[in-house]
Structure formats: C-alpha cells, structure tokens
Amino acid sequence: SGGALKCSLPSRPEYIPNHIPDPNYVRIFDTTLRDGEQSPGATMTSNEKLVVARHLSRLGVDIIEAGFPASSPDDLDAVRSIAIEVGNQPVGEDGHVPVICGLARCNKKDIDAAWEAVRHAKKPRVHTFIATSEIHMQHKLRKTREEVVNIAREMVAYARSLGCQDIEFSPEDAGRSDREFLYRVLEEVIKAGATTLNIPDTVGYTLPYEFGKLIADIKANTPGIENAIISTHCQNDLGLATANTLAGAYAGARQLEVTVNGIGERAGNASLEEVVVAMKCRQELLGGLYTGINTKHISWQARWWQSIPDCMYSHIKLLLDGMLKHKGTYEIISPEDIGLSRSNESGIVLGKLSGRHALRSRLLEFGYDISGKELDDVFKRFKEVAEKKKRITDEDLEALISDEIFQP
Ligand code: KIV
C-alpha cells in the first residue's frame, strides 16, 4: 500500500572500509562537491564547499567526495579544510563522522594531492579511476588492455603505500566495458588493496535491468569481491540514473553515489533525494535495505539548493480530492518524513520570552538535535531576533539554524 512508512531502523553499523557488518545497510556517497560541481554554473568557492559539506554531514551522508585535489591548489585547500573540520566533527544522534574522499586519476601526482588533502580526516579515502571501455582506452587513453590493468593495479598499491587504507577504484565507463576484462581489472585492484569498487555508468547509457545485471554479474564473477564493497555511480543522460541506482542496490551494491538535487555534468547524476526517499518508501520491495540519511532534513537541504521536494509535493495539491478521501491514494511518503509540513506537536510558539528548552524542543521537531555550545550559539542569536519580532516563524528558525550552524 502507499502510505508513509514509519518504522524505526537499526542504527548505522560501524564503519569498516571493505565490509559492512549489517548486509542491509547501504552507504550513501555524495559527490555534489566533485561530480556535481561539474554542472554548469555550480562551481563553488572553498567556503561554499565547506558549508555544503556541513549540510551533507548533518544529513547523515556516509562518504563526502569533497573534490578533485589535483585539479587546482584551491580545490586541494577546500578538500583539506573539509577533512580537517567536517571529517573530525561528530554529528547527529549517532555521533557519526563522515568519510572524506578525494578523487585522483590513476597517476602518482593526483594520488599524492588527494592523499595530502584527505589524510587529515578521521576516515580518509582516496578514489582513483581509469577508463576500461574499448572506446575510452583506444581514443582517450591510447593504451592497451594490459597497460590499463597494470596502471590500475600499481596506482591502487601506490595509494596503499602512502598509508591510505580506504581506497575506492572506478573503472570509468564500466557500463560499456567488456565484462571479462572488467572482472579482471576488478580482481587485480582488490588484490592491490582497493576496498570499494565503484561501477560508473559514465554516459548514462544502461537500462535498469541491464545495470542491475551488471552489478549481479560482477558480484558473481569477480574473484575476491567478497572483500570489497560494490558501488553504483549512475548518470542521468537517459533519465534513468535513479532507476539504475535502485536496480544496482537490489542486485547487491552497498554504496550508492548521488548528488544533491541530482546536479552534475550533462543531464546530471542520480539524485540523493530521489534515491533515499525511494528506498525509504519501497523498503520492503528492496528487501529491507536502509540508509543512514536523516530524511527529515531532506526538504530543508534541498530547499537550500532551490529545491526538489516542494515540486514533488506540488502535484499532490492537484490531487487533493483523492487525498481527502484517503491519504494513501496519492501520497506515498508523508511530508513529515522528509521534513515538510512540520507539525507543531509540542504546540510551542516561540517568542522573546521563550527559554533554551523550548527552543531545543521546537528544533527537535524540525529534525535538528543540538545541545551544548551549538545550542548556546543558536539561543543567543534567537534572543537577538526575538527582541525585534513578536513571533518567531518556522522560516526565521530555518534562517537562524543555517546562519549559526553552517556558515563559516
Ligand atoms: O562518471 C564517471 O565515470 C565518474 C567516475 C570518476 C566515477 O565520475
């Protein structure tokens, strides 16, 4: 049946790079700050990247791909700042600290830059890639299959030799690569120390059935695959990035690469909001898979980026007749579950006489669980605003939280 799913999920399992203690847990890897930044007009300053990283961490993202450090000294600095701050700061109810990841082509210079940027994080990861499709190897790399396997193996081993124990490897354009060759490259990089194998559908070419089968085949045919996590990275050229990502998860991928609002090169990447909400509301059909994302923060986050969920809900307004008869006619997930139409269950109306406790309780209803110094700072600012206004609205609270918690 439609209807909002209200179940309490197990807590986030302990982080081990190449193993997830709970087989139903799916890691969310956000690449808004790397692949998303390639979207026209999405270039960000270092400070903007830091603010976005704070949002992603609050949202509960497991891995933040913070950038491509070899691409410019500024990007290296931005990734390093994120590693130092966000990569060491526990957040949320589970005190989770995200992995901070930097991208590198398969060469020493890139890998050195990525490691230099991420190594300050509590959980650093280097993500290295090389193309494996015939068309890319012949025309872009001008390398033979043998050369590509050797480079991949040597560069993963090189990252390991620097001290990095969490290494992601991507065979670029895997969606159009020869299967047997793909299994071989993956086998070699696992032996060299890769802990996550990311399978990119770089040009967004595959169909959901096909992509699901690709993941299932890799799982069944790659020697040593039980010692690594399989990941998806789906582009949206045919409008199938979310569908392909879900098909990949169903077939055994336990890391999904996404971006906020699906931003990215060309038609974009799989959207974090769509993937996470689809997994939440079709959880049963997906065999009980779950993520560590705090969906109550989704609308806030997405609105912050000029958002999607409001659009998702606008069509529901047109379907009001059915909705009034039975919510389940058109509503597949409750707006509250993703932080929209927040109920004021406590009935608290905030004003200048409200205390810290009232403010904290109301913020909890928004999905924000803050205490200690963070609460002190927000409360101080709240008092200043409340002095000037009779009543503090939800929008005032949102602005307050964004200013106090996320701005550098
Ligand atoms: O689309 C792609 O192939 C990539 C890889 C580097 C993961 O972005």
Q: What's residue 5's pLDDT?
A: 45
State in Å: Cα 93 to ligand 1 middle.
32
Q: What's residue 344's pLDDT?
A: 64
* CA 247 – CA 209 distance, rounded (Å): 7
* CA 172 – CA 179 distance, rounded (Å): 13
Buried b or exposed e, range 250-289, using 16+ CB within 10 angstroms: bbbbbbbbbbbbbbbbeebbbbbbbbbbbbbbebeebeeb
* CA 392 – CA 324 distance, rounded (Å): 30
* CA 270 – CA 273 distance, rounded (Å): 9
Q: What's residue 82's pLDDT?
A: 98
Q: Which residue has the tokens 């600290």?
A: 97
Q: What's residue 9's pLDDT?
A: 56
Assess contact for 365 and 342: CB atoms under 8 A. yes
* CA 405 – CA 408 distance, rounded (Å): 8
Q: What's residue 283's pLDDT?
A: 94
Residue nearest to atom 6 of ligand 1 (CA): 129
> Residues lining ligand 1, CB < 6 A?
35, 129, 170, 172, 198, 200, 202, 233, 235
* CA 120 – CA 84 distance, rounded (Å): 5
* CA 188 – CA 149 distance, rounded (Å): 7
Ligand 1: atom nearest CA of 174 is 3
DSSP class of 336: G
* CA 291 – CA 297 distance, rounded (Å): 14
State in Å: Cα 245 to ligand 1 middle.
14
State in Å: Cα 380 to ligand 1 middle.
44
Residue nearest to atom 3 of ligand 1 (CA): 202
pTM: 0.83
Biggest CA pair distance of the chain:
72
Residue nearest to atom 5 of ligand 1 (CA): 172
Beta strands in 121-206 (DSSP E): 124-131, 167-172, 196-201
Which tokens go with 194?
Answer: 């890769």
* CA 357 – CA 349 distance, rounded (Å): 12
- Which of these, 101, 103, 107, lies nearest to 68 by C-alpha position? 103
CA dihedral for 10, 14, 20, 21, sign (positive or negative): negative
> Residue 129: beta bridge partners?
105, 170
* CA 393 – CA 349 distance, rounded (Å): 9
DSSP class of 233: E
- Which of these, 390, 405, 208, 145, lies nearest to 300 by C-alpha position? 405
Q: What's residue 397's pLDDT?
A: 83
Q: What's residue 122's pLDDT?
A: 98
Q: What's residue 191's pLDDT?
A: 98
Residue nearest to atom 2 of ligand 1 (CA): 202
Q: Which parts of the chain sit beneath pLDDT 50?
A: 1-7, 307-320
- ipTM for this model: 0.98
